[in-house]
Each structure stands twice: as C-alpha cells, then as structure tokens.
Structure 1
Amino acid sequence: MSSLQLLDLQGFDLDLSYKSSVFAKSSTPPIYTINAYNAPQHLGSGVLFEFQNQIFFITAGHIFEDRKIDDMLIPTSMRFEEILGEVYITAPSLPSLKYENEILVDSLDLAIIRLEKKVADALKIDYSFLGISNVELGHQQKYFGQEENKISDYYFVFGFPATKIKSKNQHWIAEPLFFFAFNTINHFKNKRLHVDRFHYHLFVNYTKKMTNQVTKAKQKLPALEGMSGGGLWDFVGYDINKNEPVLKLVGIMIEYRRDFIISTKIDYAIALIREKFNLPKLPIPRIPISFS
C-alpha cells in the first residue's frame, strides 16, 4: 500500500503555508540589541545572502538610525552573535508623494553588511544563506488598467514583529509572523498613491483584520513593527517533484500603512552589493539610480 497521503484543499493550504515559512525562516534571522536594562530588545528582521563565498546581511536602513552596527545581535542556538562587518546604508533624498495626509518618500531604505568570516561561520550552524538562484530580479507588479478589485501576483510575507518576542526560562524566543498577500495596485491608485512613480518599491495588501484563507475564520494580525528588513517573496508555484513551494525573494520590507506594506525591490540590494563591495560577476539589472 502506498504511503502517499493525499491532502484536501484546506490541508494543502496549511501545508503550503508551513513549508513556505520553514523555507523563509531558514535565511531570515531577527535582529536584537541590549537595552538599558541589560535585556534583549527586538529591532527588526533581515535576510542572509551568499555570493562568491562572501556572506551579506540585507535589512532595512532605518533600523540603524542612532545605533552602531556592533550593538546589533543575531540569535543562534548557542548565543547572541554580534553583527560584525563592513556596512553600507542608503539614505538618499528622492521624490515624495502625499498619501492620506502623510508623506511617503520614494527612497532606498536598505542596509547591507558584509559579515566577517567568524560571524558567517557561527551563523551557518542555525541558518541557510540564499544564493542568486533564490532571488528574482526585475520583478514587475501587474496593472490591469481600469478593472476594479482584480488581484494579481501572490506573495509571501515573513518577518519577526516585536509584539511576538517572548521570554521563557531566561531565553528570548522570536515567533515569526507570516501570511500570503496580494498585489492590489488598483486599490492603491484609487487612493492617489501612484505606484508608477515609485520605481524602487513593491506594494502588497495588509490589514490588521484578515480572513484566514484556510479556516475562513476572522483573525487579527499584530502590529508589524519589527518586520522591517524581512523578505517579500514571490510565490512562483509548487514543485510537485520535490513536494515544496517555490519562492523567490523580490523585496525587503521597509514600512507599512493601514492597508498596505511597502518593500524595496531586491534589485537595489543586489546592485548595492555588486557596486559597493566590488563584485563585478554579480548579475545586476538595469536600474535608473546611481549610488553615492
């Protein structure tokens, strides 16, 4: 008798969400610092990337505001590992757009750290490093003209919100938040957020009150503080032979509003790595910006 177990639709959705989270979590550590009370304080999330035997940590640039890199820590099964290495942080002033009495700045909110070898070696025990094959360059969100309420592109959001950091037996445990989201550009355009001006970013839907697509139950998501630096993944499809989802990293989350999440395109992180760390063999898309 075959040991293969067929899943119903609900079971498949649960399995898909779980496997996607396992894959994303393997390369997405939370970021901590030690506060004035000598206790870990959660700052954000980040993604580990490897190219030509060099390990890079990609996260949101605003996490580094008023903080030194050697004050930041990544948890491992053994201890908190200091984030040591060469760092480059973007902070250009670019065109902004008014949105519901707020100003959104179309800026590259990125930080790239080339980790020291001893740090990378310590992280290998608990984390995996993404390669260029795990990244989707040139990702474009689809736009359907004047059609209303039509959605396209299926994304997976993963990170560590500060509200889900818990202490147990003097150990700090970071619980991830992950969910599938859609590109809904028309919705944003109706609110005068002209995405065609925001060349550096991707937008997906978000609301604190969501319907669980598996159980159909209403659920309330926690605030997303701490998710900054986590990955936005394009759900490419499902590999039947390997029995696993296929996800490609397309963005780094930088901020959110009441009904959407903003992520900087991964293209710009790759371009920064290539230019600032002198890696000419790293693929780079044609992007209309110069780093200074």
Structure 2
Amino acid sequence: MPDPNTSRCLKLAALRHEHAHQLMGKAVRPIYYVDMDGYPLHEGSCVLVEIDEEKYVITASHVIDASTKHDSALYIGGADSLVEISGGDYLRSPRSGDNANDDPYDFAVWKGSAQAIAALGDLPYISSRQFSLAPSTAAGNVYSVFGYPTTKNRFRQRKQRRVKSQLWHYYSVTRDGAKAAEKMGVDGVHHIFIGYDKHSKWPNGRRIDSLKPQGASGGALIDLGDCSDLESARSDGEFVPKLAGIFIEHHNKVLISTRIGVILQSLQDAGYI
C-alpha cells in the first residue's frame, strides 16, 4: 500500500511546482542561432533576472559558445520577436582551459543595453528578493527545472521565419551528486543535484519516458522548499518559489545546476553590483 505521507508530499510538490510555473515560467526564455539561410534554430535557454533595479540575462556559458560554433549571432525569444544578444557587458564563469567542458560552473551573465531589454517586451524578471541563497541543500527539498529542450523546440515556419517555443518543466528531489562532482573536478558545494531517471511520472502517476534535456541548459532551477514537512501545507498560501540556480548539464541520473549565490558573488566581485 502506498505511503499516504509520500502521496501527500508529492501532491504538495505538484501544487508548488505549478505555482512556480505560473509565477516564473515566462522569465525563462529560449535562445536561438540562425542557419546559413537565416532561419532560427533552437540552442539553449536563459533566465531573466533583476538585481538592484538592473536587468540581466543569465544562461549557461556553453550556450554562448554556440555563437562561435555556428558562426551566428544568438537571439533570445522575447515576448513578440527574437532579440539579438549584442553589445552590453558580459560576465562568464572562469575556466581551467579553452574547452567549455573544463568549466564546472558554466554560467554567463549578459547585461544588455536598455534598447535590447526593451525589445524583449513585457516579460517578468525574477527579482533578487526571490533568490534562494542557502549555502546547503536540505534533504527534503524539492526543485523544479524550467527550460527549452531541443526535442520540444524544433517547430518552425520557414516561409514566415517564425519559431514556436515550448517550455519544459520538471520537478524532483535532491540526489547524491558525488560521482558527478568528481567528474567535474569540484566538491559539489556550489552545485545542486536533483534526480533524473530514464522514466518519470506525471502527478497523476502516469509513467513516461524522460526526455533528453539538451537545450534546457541555461534554464532555471527553482526551490520548492521542503515538501516532506507536511505541516507546511497548512500555510502553503505563504509559499514563494525561489530561484536556486542555473541548470547547466545532465550527468548520468542527476540534473546539475550552479547555485545562484555563486553567480551573484561573481557579479559582486566583478563590480557589477
């Protein structure tokens, strides 16, 4: 017989996940490059944030590298049109070599011009007041990942040069990331690892094949809090989802994100904030 506490925990997680989707989903945007014929192709994801009344775009550093790989400018899917990532200031995570795979933190922050930010249109930005800056991860915490996997974002209207984006969202509990951290050459303190298996379940219990998250890199990791604490369900109207990190890669059975606190500290060290 299923554990009723587990069922209630999963139900609470599903409710919080949907709340996070409604509140923050539109702040996660797709990134494209263009092919030799000028048609947009999906590359990755990014998150719109606001820190000290300044607006930034955060993504994975390897997504930015796609500009060189494809010999193309990159474009963010705005509210009504594609907006080129051009000009402004960049901050990228340090690497131990020239290869993007040598960068275990894998983040890039773009402070676009006022004109570029305006061109993105009427979109929400996740405020720094909604950042989860806890230095460690509670065992009972559940997290959502929001991004644009390539497998769900291949649709395009070639004649109109238009694309149709589809946001993917998934939630899971934390999982031991020691093996992944060792492969990355880090201790894992600055990352969050959540479970991701070959098969997933819908909130209604339906079992499905998990998709390949390629293309979701640069998307958001949202902290849904400790869903094992069933007492919190009584005051769940006060629950506020928080941005905990930027999703950077899938390794074996875990999804890996760099903590938002690491990125915030890098911005402070570089004098941006």
TM-based fold match above 0.5: yes
1:239 shift after superposition:
8.8
Partner of 1:159: 147
Aligned residue in 2 for 1:88: 91
Please name the residue that 2:3 is paired with: none
- Residue matched to 1:135: 131
- CA deviation digits over 1:242-273, x for unaligned, max 9? 94752111111111023101111111211122
Say whether residues 1:19 and 2:19 are aligned partners.
yes
For residue 65 of structure 1, report the CA deviation from its aligned partner.
Answer: 1.7
**Corresponding letter in the other structure for 1:179:** Y
Q: Is the 8 A contact 2:59 2:217 kept in 1?
A: yes
Deviation at 1:79, TM superposition (A): 1.6
Letter paired with 2:167: P
Compute the displacement of 1:22 (Å): 2.0
Matched, 1:58 2:58: yes
Q: Structure 1 stretches of 5 or more lacking a match?
A: 1-8, 95-103, 143-150, 280-292
* Residues 70 and 56 of structure 1, relative CA distance in 2, 3 Å threshold: farther
**Structural mapping, 1:151-230, within 5 Å:** 152-167=140-155, 170=160, 171-185=162-176, 188-189=177-178, 197-212=187-202, 214-230=203-219
**Unmatched segments (≥5 aa) in structure 2:** 1-7, 227-231
State the alpha-carbon separation in 1 of the partners of residues 196 and 180 from structure 2. Answer: 17
The residue type equivalent to 1:74 in the other structure is I
Report deviation, 1:274: 2.0
CA-CA distance at 1:168 after TM superposition: 5.9
Q: Which of 257, 260, 267 is the matching residue for 1:266?
A: 260
Structure whose CA Rg is larger: 1
Shift of 1:224: 0.5
Aligned 8 A contact 1:20 1:245 in 2:
no
Q: Deviations over 1:107-166 (max 9, x none)?
A: 2211011110011122241x1111111101133124xxxxxxxx5211111111011114
- Partners of 1:202 and 1:73 lie apart in 2 by 28
Output the CA distance in 1 between the equivalents of 2:39 and 2:239: 37
Deviations 1:184-238 (A, max 9, x none): 22xx45x5856982222111100231122x2111111221011111111111377
Measured on the aligned residues, the alpha-carbon RMSD in Å equals: 3.0
Q: Aligned in 2, Cα 1:13/1:249: closer, same or farther, shift over 3 Å? A: closer
Tell me, in whole angstroms, the C-alpha distance in 1 between the residues paired with 2:119 and 2:91: 22
Q: Is the 8 A contact 1:152 1:184 kept in 2?
A: no
- Shift, 1:67, TM fit: 1.7
Q: Percent identity?
A: 22
Deviations 1:45-78 (A, max 9, x none): 1111112332111111111225269811112243
State the alpha-carbon separation in 1 of the partners of residues 221 and 105 from structure 2: 15
What's the counterpart of residue 111 of structure 1?
Answer: 108
3-state SS of paired residue (2:115):
helix
TM-score, normalisation: structure 1: 0.75
Q: Which amino acid aligns with 2:107?
A: L
- Structure 1 counterpart of 2:92, one-letter code: I
Compare the two structures and name the one with the higher helix fraction: 2
Distance 2:14 2:272 in 1: 42
Aligned residues: 250
- Which has the higher relative contact order, 1 or 2, with Cα contacts under 8 A spaced 6 or more apart? 2
Partner Cα separation in structure 1 for residue 25 and residue 247 of structure 2 = 15
Aligned mates of 1:90, 1:206 — CA distance in 2: 25
Q: Quick one: distance in 2 between partners of 1:273 and 1:192?
A: 26
